[in-house]
């Protein structure tokens, strides 16, 4: 049906869970992929660190010479699934400089080097696709770059890390603490041996940088994304969240902000937040991901599904591979980097939202008015206050817990308030400070 001269040569770098699944898709779905592309795919080689006969593929396809593989004349597209930043960055740049289109799922690299890679692709007149870098199989990148290309995106918010979502979901449903939930996630394979990138928000911040860059036509790096993790969340926080009709989720939020002078900014931030149970993100549990996009004309759109894992991520990679191969056959190119807006990134201190502040205080008259006065001094308006007694293991009163819910305030004003509260003699400690997102106020 197709001539051998039209075959599109593919090199895959990396043979882990995702790489193995991509290789399987190329082999098992060869006829269907050829029909969709207009020419067959030919797997020219697989770059690995260790060449051995036990890798599950013909050993003659394996090579540890990445530089030679990505520069071969019979390779048209390089699929990079090695990670981490290096040696992936060197391999991708070499591939682009040699005129190969590139498909990658490397969020860590993209979040710090999108500009460099995009410029290299532009100079070589080839494609750079990375749908799988954010939220696995969930199509988010392509809708932002193509479906909403004629609209103005106002906000992109979501749950983009399955490990943290599983941990928080377990803490909520089972009433367990963070360490127990993390151990459960590790036992099920959801958490890495070193979970720092997930639980401290680095993974979500990398994805937020990519989403913000695309949505707002502005280069945003991971270092410009404000980040907090989930390690300080307690069962008591979930108990109060439930009392308020909320749950707690680690959110990645990217939004277009217009200040009082009409200037526009980009805000990109990652942190655990209280989310009303009526909000669509509140129902996203386990290791699933979801992204909500709000656009001027389209309104609210939600994308939901498997955010990680070999097969879901490989699905997104294969989709990009088909697009890149089709462009090769037709002699065309996909969307290029759009960074015309170049909006400044809004400092976290200027970001305005609502807050939940929980503190342990002395149980005596006048404490509540003293606490409220510190909020008033910094013009942080209180929406609701809850107070309950705290007892020791023997049931003897040892103080009280006060939870304050604020109206919208800047992060700077709230931070100053919390610092002042911590210095009060009547405040034993400030236990938790969380944002509230998705509320009407």
pLDDT given for residue 441 in this prediction: 59
Residue among 156, 161, 247 nearest 196 (CA): 161
Residue 2: predicted pLDDT: 47
pTM check: above 0.75: yes
Q: Residue 14: CB partners within 8 Å, gap ≥ 6?
A: 47, 48, 80, 81, 82, 83
Annotated binding residues for NADP(+): 13-20
pLDDT of residue 3: 47
Binding residues for L-homoserine: 192
CA distances (Å), origin 353, targets 87, 108, 360, 413, 441: 40, 28, 23, 11, 9
CA dihedral 142, 145, 148, 151 (to 10 degrees): 170
Main-chain phi, psi angles of 308, to 5 degrees? -155, 180
In the prediction, which pLDDT does 83 show? 78
Query: What are the residue ranges in the chain where pLDDT is below 70?
Result: 1-5, 392-396, 440-441
Strands (E), 224-350: 226-227, 246-258, 264-276, 288-295, 299-306
Q: Give the whole-angstrom CA distance, residue 129 versus residue 140.
A: 12
Q: Could you tell me the two tokens for 406? A: 């604020």
Domains within the chain, CATH numbers bracketed? 8-136+311-330 (3.40.50.720), 140-307 (3.30.360.10), 349-436 (3.30.70.260)
User: What is the rounded CA–CA span in Å between residue 167 and residue 235?
Assistant: 12
Active-site residue identified among 90, 100, 207, 249: 207
| Binding-site residue positions | 13-20, 107, 192
Q: Which residue shows structure tokens 């890390």?
A: 161
Q: How many separate helices (H) and strands (E) can be counted in the chain?
A: 14, 17
Q: Which residues contact 29 (CB under 8 A, 6 or more apart)?
A: 318
d(CA 216, CA 343): 8
Nearest to 292 by CA among 255, 322, 320, 324: 255
Verify whether residue 207 is a known catalytic residue: yes
* Residue reference for tokens 């609210």: 300
Q: From CA 309, how far away is CA 159, in angstroms rounded?
A: 16
Q: Tell me: the pLDDT tens digits for 242-300? A: 999 999 999 999 999 998 899 999 999 999 999 999 999 999 999 899 999 999 999 99
Kindly list the distances between the CA atom of residue 304 and the CA atoms of 119, 232, 292, in Å, as whole numbers in the listed order.
31, 27, 9
């Amino acid at each position: 049906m197709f001539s051998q001269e039209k075959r599109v040569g593919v090199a895959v770098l990396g043979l882990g869970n995702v790489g193995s699944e991509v290789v399987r898709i190329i082999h098992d779905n060869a006829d269907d992929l050829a029909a969709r592309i207009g020419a067959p795919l030919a797997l020219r080689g697989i770059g690995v660190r260790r060449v051995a006969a036990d890798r599950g593929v013909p050993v003659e396809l394996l090579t540890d010479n990445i530089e030679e593989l990505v520069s071969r004349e019979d390779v048209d597209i390089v699929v990079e699934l090695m990670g981490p930043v290096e040696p992936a960055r060197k391999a991708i740049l070499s591939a682009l400089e040699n005129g190969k289109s590139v498909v990658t799922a490397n969020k860590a690299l993209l979040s710090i080097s999108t500009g460099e890679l995009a410029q290299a692709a532009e100079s070589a007149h080839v494609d750079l696709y990375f749908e799988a870098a954010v939220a696995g199989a969930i199509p988010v990148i392509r809708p932002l770059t193509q479906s909403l290309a004629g609209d103005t995106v106002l906000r992109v918010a979501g749950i983009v890390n399955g490990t943290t979502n599983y941990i928080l979901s377990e803490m909520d449903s089972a009433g367990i603490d963070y360490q127990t939930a993390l151990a459960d996630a590790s036992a099920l394979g959801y958490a890495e041996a070193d979970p720092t990138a997930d639980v401290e928000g680095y993974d979500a911040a990398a994805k937020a940088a990519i989403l913000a860059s695309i949505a707002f036509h502005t280069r945003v790096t991971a270092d410009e994304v404000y980040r907090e993790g989930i390690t300080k969340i307690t069962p008591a926080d979930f108990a109060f969240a439930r009392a308020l009709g909320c749950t707690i989720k680690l959110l990645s939020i990217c939004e277009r902000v217009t200040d009082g002078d009409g200037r526009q900014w980009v805000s990109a931030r990652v942190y655990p937040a209280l989310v009303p149970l009526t909000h669509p993100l509140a129902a996203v549990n386990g290791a699933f991901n979801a992204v909500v996009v709000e656009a001027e004309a389209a309104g609210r759109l939600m994308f939901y599904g498997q955010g990680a894992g070999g097969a879901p991520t490989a699905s997104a990679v294969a989709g990009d591979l088909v697009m890149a191969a089709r462009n090769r056959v037709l002699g065309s190119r996909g969307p290029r980097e759009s960074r015309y807006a170049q909006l400044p990134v809004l400092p976290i201190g200027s970001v305005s939202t609502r807050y939940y502040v929980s503190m342990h205080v002395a149980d005596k008259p006048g404490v509540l008015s003293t606490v409220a006065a510190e909020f008033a001094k910094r013009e942080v308006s209180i929406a609701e206050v809850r107070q309950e007694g705290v007892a020791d293991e023997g049931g003897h009163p040892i103080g009280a817990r006060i939870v304050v819910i604020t109206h919208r305030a800047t992060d700077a004003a709230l931070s100053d308030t919390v610092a002042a509260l911590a210095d009060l003699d009547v405040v034993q400690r400030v236990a938790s400070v969380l944002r509230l997102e998705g509320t009407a106020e």
